[in-house]
Structures are given as structure tokens and as C-alpha cells.
Structure 1
Amino acid sequence: MTDPQPSSAPTVTRVTSRVLLLGDRIDAQGLERPDTISTVPLAFHAGANGYVALYRFGVAVLVGLSPLEEEEFLRLLDLRVSGKRGVRDDETALLEVSPQFEDRAPPGGPIQLKDLSPERFLVLADALAKSVSMARDEREVSAVFDVIEPFAADLADKGRPPFRRRAMLKLIGQALLVQHRVSGRIAVEEKPDVLWDRPDLERLYARLEDEYELKERAGTLKRKLDVIVETVRAMTDIIDADRATRLEATIVLLIVGELLISLFQIWHGR
């Protein structure tokens, strides 16, 4: 009687994904290739066994590329990036691919995928791109809060509004830009289009959404933006009211001065 041969366990392939926030926008028009797997976002095969996805809000997701392949691709993409930042936002995520997995995103651990098909890549790339873009917006909103705090403290301490109305309007503009990115271009609450054709990947996207807390972070950002806009508008209203009061006082003084001059001329004439 022969002993049964031990069955070989399925191999686990480890792949690194890299997410880069290159700037405000990426112009991907004209980069379509025969091996394109998606047009919105533009995604295609790259390198020996990798993928690339380009998002119009300035994010590139690279999976399975070697460092040399990444460097060469980013060099070619450089001229198509507008609104570049001094320092790139760069995040990495480790993927484990094996038929034994059930598409999971364990907290703090590598993302486990059944396979690295184009559809699974698009779902993964969507979540990663939204996460790194919101990280930029979270920093910008925190910076706006740091600017507003001294104004509010001065108003509370001295009861005197800041006189820099232009600075207040610039803060409103910054908040509106972030709001536009979160609700418009990034569309955090919208699911990737690939799920229309592959509803079986809904669970994978939901797990990635929970792991990166996309909905919670988007909700927090919107609440902070509402606070910023309301605060700055209140300050500009106070500034405008204070200016109107000073203008009225100036007009009253001019009228009184004109009356005094008229009385003096009448008295001098007599």
C-alpha cells in the first residue's frame, strides 16, 4: 500500500502596488494602447506582468512594475501632468495573489486577491487612488484650519475682526477647490464602472472601502469644509459690517464738518 502523495499548496504571489499623486491633473488623451483594459480611467497592461491606471485628478496607480519600468513610465508621463507639487505623495500596498484567497483586505495586512485580473485591478486601483487623493485634501484642509484659528482667537480675545478681507476670500477659495475635488473629480461616493459588468466584485470594493475608510473620510472632509466656509463667511460679514459702520461715521463727520464750515462762513460774513 502506497502512501498518498501530499498535495502541493497553492503558491502565493506577492506583488507591490504603488500609488502616486503627481499633480492636479493628468492629461491621458492620446495614451490609448491596443492592450487598454479601460478608458475611464485609462488603464492598460505595462511592463512584463503589470498594470497602470491613470486618473484625471492627478493619480497614477502602478501594479507589478519593476523599479526601472516605473521610472521609465513616469518619465514619459511627466509632460502630461499639470499642477505639479514640490513633493509627490507616494503610497505603497502589498498584494498577495492566490486562488485560495477570497478577496480580502485585512486591517494592516497585505491585500489578498484570488487573481490579478484586469477587473480586480480596476477595483483595487479605484480605492487606492481615492485614498491617496483624499490624504492630500485632508492636509490642505488642516492647513486652512491653522490659518483660521489665529483670526478666530483674535476675534474672541479682542472682539475685533481681522481687516484682511482678501485673505478670508482666499480661504473660501481653497475650501471650495477641495470641495470640488472631493465631490466632483474624485467622486469618492461613486463606485467604479467595472462593477456594472462584474457585480461579483462588489464585496472586494466594499472591503477596500472599509479598509481605507473612504466614506468616513469623505464625510469628515465635507463637515470640515462646511465649518471653514461658514466661519470665513461670518468673518467677512463682520468685516463688511465694520467697514460699513466706519463709512457711515466718516459720512456723518463730513456732514458735520460741512455744517461747521457753512456756519463759520455765515458768521464771518456778518
Structure 2
Amino acid sequence: MTPKTKRPPTTYSLKTRYLGEQTDLKKIQENVRKYHYLNRDHPLVIQLLDHEYAVLTKFGTVTFWNTTESLANQFIKEVTPYIKNVNPLYDYTDTLKVHIGPGAERVSFEELHIQNLDVEKMKIISYVSGQSAALDRYENDINERLDELGKVVENLKTSGRTRSTQGSLLRQVGHILSVKQNAVSNISLFDKPDETWERAELEKLYNELHSEYELRDRFDVLNEKIDFLSENNTTLLNFISSQKSNFLELIIIILIAIEIILFLPDWLPFFRDLFWRLFG
């Protein structure tokens, strides 16, 4: 199904925004009924006005096509209740110009030239742009964890101690692993959209965009950082566990010494008589 417009523009300005972790597309269709839905699967293409569209992904992004800022903000407000872990401070975006017309089709990081546009192509373009914006969020998360690790290591180097606890480090490890799980599962970095199996031109478009956005390379770098963080947090956990074990051993030795001191007066007459019998 093609978008219902009287005079389709030859250029679309796209802006993708990352809103939250997951979007319930089914509930949006059930509760936000004022717009025209051009499909019912994922990604979800919605006609807001003539020549103005929004494309929602299940992994928390929305791509606006030729949409005014006021209408985009209104739409976000309407769909926010159906998005998990929305954060208004998120500033992960992607922009793209899509030019439609005769000539060779080509892809660059900021511009895309194609001969025609339909709903399936809108889905593919928005899907890859959304993956890039979502990956920005996870890259930023891991970079923040690297900064925190740097502070812990610096404190360990200067004072020989770490202020981190086992609980806090375990939470860090859990957060780091969740980033990897979300990157692989939620934004489906390694799963091609179903449409690419049905039309060769869609597969070609997807592959070119995927390559231009360097999604595989970016994930590989992200994965290396995750492995580095996991290894270092495990080392810190072992260090803290060793410190705690040594401390407990010291406490046991002190308690034994105290017990000996407390009971020593009761045994003094016995040891004194024994001494005189042996050496007196």
C-alpha cells in the first residue's frame, strides 16, 4: 500500500528519535485511532497528515517524515504511555534526506537517492535509522560505565582501596550484560526485516543502509567494550572478595586471642603447679 498523497514531494526530511526501550505497537493501534495506519506490522507506518508520516519501531524509536516539530511533539505525547522506560532527556537522533526521482540510486550517511518510494521502503529506511539511534543510546551507556570504571581504577591506584561494594559491582555487571542483550535482541541488529526476503531491491536497500551506518562495526566495538568491562568488573569482584576473606580471617584470629586472654587467669594456677613439679 502506498502513502495517500495527492502530490508526493520529491524530497523527504527524516528525523529519528530514540524515546525508550520498547514500544507496544499493538496498544498504540488500539488506543491512538486518530491517524491513518498504512500497515499493521513492524515497523508501523502512520500517516499523520498529507506528506507527513511517523514510523514506529518496537525498540523505542520513531522516524518522522516531513513532519513539523509541533506535530511530532504532539504525536510523541500521544504514544508515550505505550513506550517502556521513556526518558525525556534522551537526545539520540538521526537525520536523513531522501530524494526521489530518476537516476542512479545511491546511499550516503546524510542522503539517500531512490527512484520511487512505497510503504515497504519507508519501513526499511526508518528501521535502519532507528537501529542507529538506538545503538547510540547503548554506546553512550557503555561509555559512561567505562568512565566510572576509570574512576574506580584511579582510586585503587592512589589509595590501594576501592569504594565499590560487591552489590554495586554486581549491578554494574547486570547492567552491562543487559546492554548487550538489548542490542542483539531488542533492536535486532542481525535480523533482516521480513520484507527483504520478498523483494531483492529491498534487500539491496537494507544492506546498503546497514553498511553506510556501519551498524556491524559499531556493534563489534560495543561488544569489545562490554567484554573489557565484564573482565575488569570480575577482577574487582575477586579483589573485594579476597579483601573480605582476609578481613574475616583476621577477625577470627583476634577472637581466638581474646578468648585465650579471657580464660588465661583460670589456668594460671594449673600451669604454675605444673612448672614447679617439673623444674622445682
- Shorter-normalised TM range: 0.7 to 0.9
Change in CA separation of 1:66 and 1:12 when aligned onto 2, cut-off 3 Å = closer
Cα drift, residue 163 of structure 1: 4.7
Change in CA separation of 1:12 and 1:28 when aligned onto 2, cut-off 3 Å = closer
Q: Give yes or no for the alignment of 1:22 onto 2:25.
A: no
Q: Deviations over 1:214-242 (max 9, x none)?
A: 00011111111111111111101110111
Cα drift, residue 157 of structure 1: 4.0
Runs of 4 or more, structure 1, over 3 Å off, are 30-36, 66-69, 156-163
**Residues 28 and 82 in structure 2, CA contact (< 8 A), matched pair in contact too:** no
User: What is the alpha-carbon distance in structure 2 between the residues aligned to residue 80 and residue 113 of structure 1?
Assistant: 33
Cα drift, residue 46 of structure 1: 3.3
Aligned to 1:52: 54
State the AA in 2 paired with 1:234. T
User: What is the alpha-carbon distance in structure 2 between the residues aligned to residue 36 and residue 119 of structure 1?
Assistant: 10
**Residues 99 and 114 in structure 1, CA contact (< 8 A), matched pair in contact too:** yes
User: What is the alpha-carbon distance in structure 2 between the residues aligned to residue 234 and residue 78 of structure 1?
Assistant: 40
**Residues 21 and 133 in structure 1, CA contact (< 8 A), matched pair in contact too:** yes
Aligned to 1:71: 73
User: What is the alpha-carbon distance in structure 2 between the residues aligned to residue 256 and residue 227 of structure 1?
Assistant: 44
Which runs of structure 2 are paired with 1:8-157 in the superposition (5 Å)?
13-32=10-29, 35-89=37-91, 90-102=93-105, 104-107=106-109, 109-157=110-158
**Residues 21 and 60 in structure 1, CA contact (< 8 A), matched pair in contact too:** yes
State the AA in 1 paired with 2:145. V
Q: Which moved more, 1:217-226 or 1:23-32?
A: 23-32
Which TM-score applies when normalising by structure 2? 0.83
Unaligned runs of 5+ in 2: 1-7, 273-280
Cα drift, residue 158 of structure 1: 4.2
Cα drift, residue 128 of structure 1: 0.3
Q: Root-mean-square deviation (CA), in Å?
A: 2.3
User: What is the alpha-carbon distance in structure 2 between the residues aligned to residue 125 and residue 267 of structure 1?
Assistant: 87
User: What is the alpha-carbon distance in structure 2 between the residues aligned to residue 123 and residue 162 of structure 1?
Assistant: 47
State the AA in 1 paired with 2:59. F
Q: Which moved more, 1:65-74 or 1:226-235?
A: 65-74
**Residues 43 and 52 in structure 1, CA contact (< 8 A), matched pair in contact too:** yes
Q: Deviations over 1:51-102 (max 9, x none)?
A: 3221222111122334443233223213223312242323321111113242
**Residues 47 and 69 in structure 1, CA contact (< 8 A), matched pair in contact too:** no
Which TM-score applies when normalising by structure 1? 0.86
Q: Which moved more, 1:22-31 or 1:173-182?
A: 22-31
Q: Secondary structure at the match of 1:167?
A: helix
User: What is the alpha-carbon distance in structure 2 between the residues aligned to residue 147 and residue 209 of structure 1?
Assistant: 31
Change in CA separation of 1:137 and 1:163 when aligned onto 2, cut-off 3 Å = closer
State the AA in 2 paired with 1:37. N
**Residues 46 and 54 in structure 2, CA contact (< 8 A), matched pair in contact too:** yes
Unaligned runs of 5+ in 1: 1-10
User: What is the alpha-carbon distance in structure 2 between the residues aligned to residue 144 and residue 43 of structure 1?
Assistant: 35
Change in CA separation of 1:71 and 1:225 when aligned onto 2, cut-off 3 Å = same
